[in-house]
Chain A
């Protein structure tokens, strides 16, 4: 068994060993070993040129990563958390995302940016956001959300290999989870959603940290005779419409789980896709289970109430079944 944290580290090691264009930078990724201990030991193995501790200047070290990518390197940039990444949004939106298009295809930005996202650790309003949807809104970049140990590894390899800028969101509650890691085969496409649990009565669509809650809810539902299918989005941009639609056309009911605030969320986008393309297949209104419209509170009971939990997913599913 391997932890999610170790799977990311294994991918970083493989990339640094196999491609001399790859280097890794971010705040405290070197001597400290990474804020989530992901990069422990990498500085000793690869040295200060290729594992670079940056000053606290998100906009400029992300921009420097973009510049290095333009200059032919394959930078991997770690931004400690999605909330800090807001300081780098100018570089992401105005440079990384636009460069290929506004240069008429002359330049590309093959950068991979990793960051932690999500709540659940009582670190309050400024450190618990899920803002993946802000990134997924922007054409020109791609967004991945690995929810499993295997994906944590494979998706980073795919992100670095990709000729476009790829942003990888690692839910902070997942770094410690265990799972199987197989590095021998060819990984499945990171851009496709997968059905993590087959079911017939309704589809629960989730990603990242919420996937595990969706699976927990499916277990609960099973006990009351409801067969829930669980779809893991995996890629947030591009969204794999086919897999989502295929599932809902079979089950005729949809519960979308997203740790972002409901207003303007990816859950809203998926609901719109279902309304546009599967309206006549639906037997019940679409349910969205999102974070309440409030800055994430510190107190444990309030934080738990704010973000999606198994209980709320179960309730939504039962409402969808006409059983609420």
Chain B
């Protein structure tokens, strides 16, 4: 099958997937060196979802994401250095070192986090869309969450409320087959997650989340339908996490063989191979992308290393608009 995609755009998609993967690999390395602490959830294996989806959204659309959000944050335009510095806990991080890996934010880019409570971001997305509707804004709100979130009451409540109030929310379910360590068939009665939303009047579809071009196309179509109709829609992105859930995870719940099988479907290697087949890229292109990514990540680490620690005297800052003490 031919790709039906312009060469320079194909290159952009490949570049962005590689940028995310290199950022994540470096993060894992820095975690083992104890530069990054706390929970660290890597996006490796799921890059096509974030890259395809973020390219399909408009710049002023709202984005609400999960604790596995480094990729979305990077593509929203938060500089890699600010992401890295945030993971270091430095004051020059994108959340001032108060959020860490799971709570990346950017007000000027309409990036509303970074949420660690599974399903907790969905009502927030509904509310952002309500604010836009009441003010007559044309933007939509894209809300990322995992398959585990579909178990939560807030998922069902949010679909119902968004449909009832006709709110422009695009629900993007990153189905990586595991709610932390619990496989899909052990946490949902119906493995076909897209069966749920139509019961609430929310149209739903699924797409291969390992295919960046398919993701971009599907998310673009869904996003524009949400915009036109001011009605919520749901898209399941079928993907797979290659690495552990977090750095604490010993992966006792799945076999190495299963992971190896999925790795054959690597979104980056697969896409790169296709682009070579179609003659859309050369080895020199790939080398340049890798070199740029390596530089970007090296600069990011340097930025984080050079960052200052927030003075302890400032600890209560940002608890309230004005200090209450």
Q: Which residues of A contact B (CB under 8 A)?
A: 23, 49-50, 52, 54-55, 57, 59-73, 75, 90-91, 94-95, 99-108, 139-140, 142, 162-164, 238
B252 to chain A, nearest CB (A): 28
- Give the docked Cα–Cα distance between A30 and B94 (Å): 41
- Give the docked Cα–Cα distance between A61 and B96 (Å): 29
B324 to chain A, nearest CB (A): 5
- Give the docked Cα–Cα distance between A213 and B206 (Å): 61
- Give the docked Cα–Cα distance between A63 and B122 (Å): 8
The answer to whether A71 and B128 have CB atoms under 8 Å apart is: yes
The answer to whether B124 and A66 have CB atoms under 8 Å apart is: yes
B284 CB-CB contact with A under 8 Å: no
Partner of A103, one of B107, B122, B123: B107
As a 0/1 sequence over residues 85 to 101 of chain B, the CB contacts with chain A under 8 angstroms (1 = contact) are 00000000111111100
B126 to chain A, nearest CB (A): 5
- Give the docked Cα–Cα distance between A49 and B160 (Å): 17
Partner of A100, one of B115, B116, B130, B321: B321
B273 CB-CB contact with A under 8 Å: no
The answer to whether B128 and A67 have CB atoms under 8 Å apart is: yes
A1 to chain B, nearest CB (A): 35
B131 CB-CB contact with A under 8 Å: yes
A295 to chain B, nearest CB (A): 24
Q: Chain B: which residue is nearest A140 at the CB level?
A: B319
The answer to whether A71 and B131 have CB atoms under 8 Å apart is: yes
A125 to chain B, nearest CB (A): 23
- Give the docked Cα–Cα distance between A164 and B320 (Å): 6
Q: Chain B: which residue is nearest A165 at the CB level?
A: B320
The answer to whether B120 and A104 have CB atoms under 8 Å apart is: no
Q: Chain A: which residue is nearest B95 at the CB level?
A: A104
14 contacting pairs across A/B (C-beta < 8 A): A23-B134, A54-B161, A64-B127, A68-B128, A71-B127, A73-B134, A91-B120, A91-B123, A101-B98, A102-B95, A103-B113, A107-B107, A162-B321, A164-B320
- Give the docked Cα–Cα distance between A23 and B93 (Å): 35
B153 CB-CB contact with A under 8 Å: yes
The answer to whether B122 and A104 have CB atoms under 8 Å apart is: no
- Give the docked Cα–Cα distance between A263 and B210 (Å): 54
B132 CB-CB contact with A under 8 Å: yes
The answer to whether B321 and A163 have CB atoms under 8 Å apart is: yes
Known: A60-B123, A70-B128, A94-B120. A103 touches B160 (CB 8 A): no
B33 CB-CB contact with A under 8 Å: no
Partner of A63, one of B105, B127, B131, B321: B127
Q: Chain B: which residue is nearest A93 at the CB level?
A: B117
Contacts of B94 in A (CB 8 A): 104
The answer to whether A105 and B318 have CB atoms under 8 Å apart is: yes
Q: Chain B: which residue is nearest A69 at the CB level?
A: B127
- Give the docked Cα–Cα distance between A64 and B105 (Å): 18
Excluding A68-B130, A102-B103, 14 further A-B contacts by CB distance (< 8 Å) are A59-B153, A61-B123, A65-B127, A66-B124, A67-B125, A68-B127, A71-B62, A72-B131, A73-B134, A90-B154, A95-B115, A100-B319, A105-B318, A142-B320
As a 0/1 sequence over residues 75 to 88 of chain B, the CB contacts with chain A under 8 angstroms (1 = contact) are 00000000000000
B292 CB-CB contact with A under 8 Å: no
Count, chain B residues at interface, CB 8 A:
46
- Give the docked Cα–Cα distance between A162 and B324 (Å): 13
- Give the docked Cα–Cα distance between A133 and B122 (Å): 27
Q: Chain B: which residue is nearest A110 at the CB level?
A: B321
B43 CB-CB contact with A under 8 Å: no
A105 to chain B, nearest CB (A): 4
The answer to whether A100 and B320 have CB atoms under 8 Å apart is: yes
Partner of B126, one of A63, A140, A164: A63
The answer to whether A55 and B160 have CB atoms under 8 Å apart is: yes
The answer to whether A103 and B320 have CB atoms under 8 Å apart is: no
- Give the docked Cα–Cα distance between A60 and B124 (Å): 8
Partner of A67, one of B95, B131, B164, B165: B131
B158 CB-CB contact with A under 8 Å: yes
B295 to chain A, nearest CB (A): 27
- Give the docked Cα–Cα distance between A108 and B318 (Å): 9
- Give the docked Cα–Cα distance between A71 and B96 (Å): 21
The answer to whether B127 and A104 have CB atoms under 8 Å apart is: no
B219 to chain A, nearest CB (A): 21
The answer to whether B158 and A107 have CB atoms under 8 Å apart is: no
Contacts of B115 in A (CB 8 A): 95
Contact residues of B between 145 and 181, Cβ < 8 Å to A: 153-154, 157-158, 160-161, 164-165
- Give the docked Cα–Cα distance between A147 and B127 (Å): 31
Contacts of B62 in A (CB 8 A): 71
Known: A55-B160, A57-B157. A64 touches B317 (CB 8 A): no
- Give the docked Cα–Cα distance between A142 and B106 (Å): 25
- Give the docked Cα–Cα distance between A95 and B122 (Å): 11
B157 to chain A, nearest CB (A): 4
B112 CB-CB contact with A under 8 Å: yes
Q: Chain B: which residue is nearest A48 at the CB level?
A: B165
Q: Chain A: which residue is nearest B106 at the CB level?
A: A106
Q: Chain A: which residue is nearest B100 at the CB level?
A: A102
Partner of A60, one of B157, B318, B319: B157
Known: A60-B154, A103-B113. A108 touches B321 (CB 8 A): yes
Q: Chain B: which residue is nearest A49 at the CB level?
A: B134
Partner of B95, one of A70, A103, A139: A103
- Give the docked Cα–Cα distance between A68 and B128 (Å): 5
Known: A102-B99, A107-B112. A64 touches B117 (CB 8 A): no
Contacts of A50 in B (CB 8 A): 134
- Give the docked Cα–Cα distance between A101 and B99 (Å): 8
The answer to whether B95 and A106 have CB atoms under 8 Å apart is: yes
- Give the docked Cα–Cα distance between A205 and B106 (Å): 44
The answer to whether B161 and A101 have CB atoms under 8 Å apart is: no
Contacts of B157 in A (CB 8 A): 55, 57, 59-60
B135 CB-CB contact with A under 8 Å: yes
The answer to whether A66 and B321 have CB atoms under 8 Å apart is: no
The answer to whether B120 and A95 have CB atoms under 8 Å apart is: yes
- Give the docked Cα–Cα distance between A73 and B112 (Å): 15
